[in-house]
Homo-oligomer: A and B are copies of this chain.
């Protein structure tokens, strides 16, 4: 039972298992996919290896299914529950990262050889964000209809804020680009 340091991935795994009870990696994967994974992706391989790490460190118990798929089901231990509680109560780092390839490319827009490159970038980004925004809205309406008012939905509403901002931003980029082009 070695000691490991807890990464965001660890907290996601611990948190989901604490919330939903004993889970398989596949269930974790599904839970992540349509919630936090929307803007903070955790590749499925991580959700298979991470519980193993946490089990080795005593934060989870692993139980192997006998027949069939030989699934591994993980449940949280007292030690795991405590680690989770400590994380939640601890001060949260205020940093954050927005890793957006579109934004990165825009940053180097002055190096583009054809102005059309920028146009294409803005158009594609705008469309993608608009689509995503619509998806989020739909999902939010759905949750509202179901009477859901939990923290997951609150988190989703951040997604809405973000996408609205992104749409406005890329529209603005388009606008300025056109003005500059026609001048």
Contacts and interface: CB of A to CB of B under 8 A. Distances in A.
Interface of A: 8, 11-12, 15, 18-19, 35-36, 39-41, 84-85, 87-89, 91-114, 117, 120-121, 124-125, 128, 150-152, 154-155, 157-158, 161-162, 164-166, 168-169, 172-173, 176
Given A88-B112, A107-B151, A110-B151, A99 B40 contact: yes
Given A113-B85, A162-B162, A165-B165, A151 B101 contact: no
A105 B101 CA distance: 25
B161 A168 contact: yes
A9 to B, nearest CB: 10
Contacts of A110: 19, 150-151
A162 B89 CA distance: 26
A103 B93 CA distance: 11
Contacts of A100: 40, 96-97
Secondary structure dominating the interface of A: helix
23 contacts: A8-B99, A15-B108, A19-B110, A19-B111, A35-B107, A84-B108, A85-B111, A88-B117, A89-B114, A92-B101, A92-B102, A92-B124, A95-B101, A96-B99, A96-B103, A98-B98, A98-B162, A99-B99, A103-B155, A109-B151, A154-B173, A161-B165, A162-B165
Contacts of A92: 101-102, 105, 121, 124-125
A132 to B, nearest CB: 8
Contacts of A158: 103, 169
